Amino acid sequence: MSKLVGIGLLLIACAVGVWFAVAFHQDAGPHDRILKQAVVTGSAGDQFVLSELKKAGFDLNKPTDIRFYLYIPALNDAQHAAQILREEGFNVEVRAPLGPLPDGSVERRYSVVANAQRVPSSNNIRLARNVFQGLALRYGGDYDGWEAAVAK
């Protein structure tokens, strides 16, 4: 993991901008809401989302399911990234490319969707960002943020 953390720290040091989108919707399950962070390219976006959750009354000290999204061009590389994530304690699924999108573009990359039960603390989100950004760099892909089901 130390190699991945080192790569991730390098990426954070190089990050220049933050663009984020946040959407809330009702969840019929045991959680009151699901936070969906569509795209975050820097840790400032993570901090913003965590502070908004706290303002909304969510308990950020309770472990919850956190899901992370990574897109990688080659299937073999996506499978290697998935194996690394499994070794880090994540449950991982490699999904086929989405193909044509509503905006007319075509998504040809494989989705690596990983989740784990974690406390959504600043430190845990930062550590996960380091791992996912390191894998994105290693395999020529993109880290596309996270979402968490958070109980009050």
- Helix 43-55 vs helix 122-139: crossing angle, to nearest 10: 150
- Under 8 Å between Cβ of 38 and 11: no
The CATH number given to 2-150 is: 3.30.70.970
Q: Which pLDDT score, from 0 to 100, does residue 55 have?
A: 83
The pLDDT profile of the chain, 152 residues, written as one tens digit per residue, is 433 333 333 333 233 222 222 222 233 333 333 333 334 446 788 888 888 878 888 888 889 899 999 999 999 999 999 999 999 999 999 999 999 999 999 999 999 999 999 998 889 999 999 999 999 999 999 999 988 876 66
Q: Which pLDDT score, from 0 to 100, does residue 64 have?
A: 87
CA distance 7 to 1: 10
The domain ranges of the chain are: 2-150
To the question of pTM greater than 0.75 for the whole model, the response is no
